[in-house]
Amino acid sequence: MSKSLIVSSFRTHIANQFVESFTEPANNVYYVFAGKHTDFSNTTPQPIDCVQTTVYDVYDSMVFGKRITSSDVKLMAPRVDWVANTVFAAYDSSNAMITTNFYVAVNATSNYYIFKCLDNAGNSVSTAAPDFTQTSADDEYYSTIDNYVWKYMYTVPVATWNKFVTSDFMPVVEDANVTGNAVSGAIDVIRVESGGSGYVALINNTFSATQISVGGDPTKFELPITASSNNDFYTNSLLYITAGTGAGQYKQITDYNAAFKRITVESAFSTSLSNTSVYEIGPAIQIVGNGDDAAARALVNTAANYSIYKIQILDRGLGYSYANLAIGANTGGVSNTAVLVPIFSPNGGHGSNVSIEIGATAVGLGLTFANNESGKIPTENDIRTIGILKDPLYANVVLTMNASSVSGTFTAGETVLQTNTSAVGVVTSFLGSTLLITNVDGDFTTGKVVTGGSSGATGNVHQFTISGQSKDFTTFDQRSRYTVQYISGTFQPDEPIYQSANILANGQFHSNDSNFFNLTDVKGVLNSGELIVGNTSLATANVTGSVVPDLVKYSGDIIYIENTANTISRSNTQSETIKIVLKF
3-state SS, residue 25? coil
Strands (E), 320-401: 323-328, 339-344, 362-370, 382-390, 397-401
Summarize pLDDT for 369-425 with one digit per residue, the tens. 998 888 888 999 999 999 999 999 999 999 999 999 999 999 999 999 999 999 999
Write out pLDDT tens, residues 352-370: 999 999 999 999 999 999 9
The whole-number average pLDDT for the span 438-452 is 96
* DSSP β-bridge partners for residue 106: 113
Contact (CB, 8 A) for 64 and 478: yes
User: Which alpha helices (DSSP H) does 506-549 contain, by range?
Assistant: none
Spatial separation of the C-alpha atoms in residues 34 and 37, rounded to whole Å: 9
What pLDDT is attached to residue 55?
87
The structure's pTM equals 0.88
The string of DSSP letters for 402-438 reads: -GGG-BS---TT-EEEETTTTEEEEEEEEETTEEEEE
CB atoms within 10 A of CB 373: 17
Q: How does pLDDT run across 103-153, given as a tens digit for each residue?
A: 999 999 999 999 999 999 989 999 999 999 999 888 877 899 999 999 999
Alpha carbons 120 and 90: distance in angstroms, whole number = 5
Q: Mind listing the pLDDT tens digit for each residue in 247-283?
A: 999 999 999 999 999 999 999 999 999 999 999 999 9
pLDDT band per the 50, 70, 90 thresholds, residue 488: very high
Closest CA to 217 of 248, 242, 254, 245: 254
The order of strands in the sheet holding 238-243 is 203-206, 278-282, 238-243, 250-257, 262-265, 220-222
Residue 503 predicted with pLDDT over 80: no
Query: d(Cα 515, Cα 523) in Å, to the nearest integer?
Result: 22
- In this structure, of 203-207, 501-505, 541-545, 552-556, the range with the lowest mean pLDDT score is 501-505
- pLDDT surpasses 90 at 335: no
Helix (H, G, I), strand (E, B) or coil at 173: coil
| CATH fold of 8-72+365-390+556-583 | baseplate structural protein gp8, domain 1 (2.60.340)
Query: Which of helix, strand or coil describes residue 386?
Result: strand
Question: Is residue 504 over pLDDT 80?
Answer: no
Mean pLDDT value across residues 520-544: 93
Residue 544 has pLDDT above 90, yes or no: yes
Integer Cα distance of 393 and 398 in angstroms: 14
Strand order in the sheet with 362-370: 169-171, 73-78, 362-370, 575-583
For residue 373, the model assigns a pLDDT of 86
What are the two backbone dihedrals, phi and then psi, of residue 118, each rounded to the nearest 5 degrees? Answer: -95, -30
Whole-angstrom distance, CA of residue 560 vs CA of residue 386 = 8
Least confident range of 63-77, 404-418, 467-481, 501-515: 501-515
Q: Which amino acid is at 487?
A: I
pLDDT in tens, 38-83: 999 888 999 999 998 888 999 999 999 999 999 999 999 999 999 9
Confidence grade of residue 208 (pLDDT, cut at 50, 70, 90): very high
- List, edge to edge, every strand of the sheet that includes 323-328: 307-315, 295-301, 284-289, 323-328
| Distance separating alpha carbons of residues 395 and 497, to the nearest angstrom | 24
SS3 562: strand
Question: What's the confidence (pLDDT) of residue 501?
Answer: 62
pLDDT band at 198 (very low <50, low <70, confident <90, very high): very high
Average pLDDT over residues 427-432: 94
Q: What is the mean pLDDT of residues 429-434?
A: 93
- Tell me what percent of the chain is helix, strand and coil, each rounded to the nearest 5: 10, 45, 45
d(CA 180, CA 357): 15
The chain-wide mean pLDDT, for the chain, equals 94
> What was the pLDDT predicted at 187?
94
Question: 502: pLDDT confidence band, cut at 50, 70 and 90?
Answer: low
pLDDT above 70 covers what percent of the chain? 99
